[in-house]
Amino acid sequence: MNIHYLTLFPEMYDGVLNQSILKRAREKGIVNYHTVNFRDYAENKHNQVDDYPYGGGAGMVLKPEPVYNAMDEINTKNARVLLMCPSGRPFDQKFAEELSKEETIVFINGHYEGYDERIRNIATDEVSIGDYVLTGGELASMTMTDAIVRLIPGVIEEESHLDDSFSTGLLEYPHYTRPREYRGMKVPDVLLSGNHKLIEEWRQEESYKKTRERRPDLLENFNEKNEK
Ligand code: 6GU
C-alpha cells in the first residue's frame, strides 16, 4: 500500500511513522509513506496557500491550486483520496477494514478555516475522526494510518485483531498475565482452570457486561447481527 500525505507540516509525521508497528510495516515492504508539502506547489511568489474568503467573514481559506498541483505529481489512479475535515464521514473500525484493502490512499490535510469548495472535487471521501475540532488533519490522518496499517495482512498476527474491540461488535474482555496475585488482586479462577469452553463463555460474558455498561449504543447492532 502507498500512503500519501498532503500537508504543510511534513515534520509532524516523522516520529509517528518511524516507530513500532508502522515502522516495521514499512521495513517489511508492506506499506510506503510519502509526505508532500503542498506549499511547494503554490503558484505565487510568496508560496501563499491560503487567502481571504470571497464574500467576507473570519478565517482564511485553502486555495485550490497548491492541492491540485501536488495531486498531479502523485499517482492517484484508483486511489482513495480522503479530505480530512470535521464534517466528514465518521471513521470507525469498519471504515478502517475497508481502507486496509486499498492499493493507494491520499490524505489531504487542511488547516485554516476551511477548504476552497473546489478541492472537494478531487476527494473520493470526506473523513472525520470524531465530534471535536482539530487545528489540522495531520493528527487525524496519523490516527487513521495506525488503525488501517495494523489490519493489512502480515503486519501483525492475524489472531490479534480477530478479538479487537469493535471487530467483534463488543468491547474486549479483560486480560491477565503473571503473577497470579499482585498486591492482593487475583487472576479470576476460571482463567487458570484449563477449561477452554468455560474460559470462552466467561470472556463472552465479560465483553457483553462491559459493552452494556460503557457502550450500550453498540449493543443494538450486535444483538441485531446475532439474532439473524
Ligand atoms: Cl479529519 N480534521 C479536523 N481539522 N478536525 C477534525 C477531524 C479532522 N476529525 C475530527 N476533528
- Residue 129 CB coordination number (10 Å): 20
- Domain tally, the chain: 2
The pLDDT of residue 165 is: 82
201, 121: one domain: no
- 117 lies in a domain? yes
Q: How many residues does the chain have?
A: 228
> Is 157 inside any structural domain?
no
Give the Cα separation of 23 and 8 in Å (integer): 22
State whether 221 and 124 are in the same domain. no
32 belongs to a structural domain: yes
Do 122 and 75 share a structural domain? yes
Distance CA 72, CA 67 (A): 9
Does the annotation count 172 as an active-site position?
A: no
217 in catalytic set: no
Q: Is 50 one of the catalytic residues? A: no
Q: What does the pLDDT read at residue 178?
A: 98
* DSSP notation for 10-36: TTHHHHHHTSHHHHHHHHTTS-EEEEE
pLDDT score of 164:
85
86 and 180 share one domain: no
Q: Report which of 25, 4, 218 is spatially closest to residue 105, judged by C-alpha positions.
A: 4
Residue 33 in any domain: the answer is yes
Q: Which residues of the chain have pLDDT under 70?
A: 112, 228
Compute the distance from residue 9 Cα to the ligand 1 centre, in Å.
Answer: 15
Same domain, 17 and 110: yes
Selecting among 102, 164, 172, 206, the annotated active-site residue is 164
pTM confidence score? 0.94
Instruction: Look at residues 121, 149, 177 and tell me which one is the last residue of a structural domain.
Output: 149
Q: Tell me, yes or no, whether 155 lies in a domain.
A: no
Contacts of 134 (CB under 8 A, 6+ apart): 86, 140
pLDDT of 167: 82
CA of residue 139 to ligand 1 center, whole Å: 8
User: 221 is written with which cell numbers?
Assistant: 447492532
Interface confidence, given as ipTM, is: 0.98
Are 117 and 179 within one domain? Answer: no
Query: Is the same domain home to 77 and 127?
Result: yes
pLDDT at 160: 79
- Residue 156 belongs to a domain: no
pLDDT score at 228 = 59
Residues 39, 53, 86, 126: which is the catalytic one?
86
Give me the domain span that covers residue 132.
Answer: 2-149
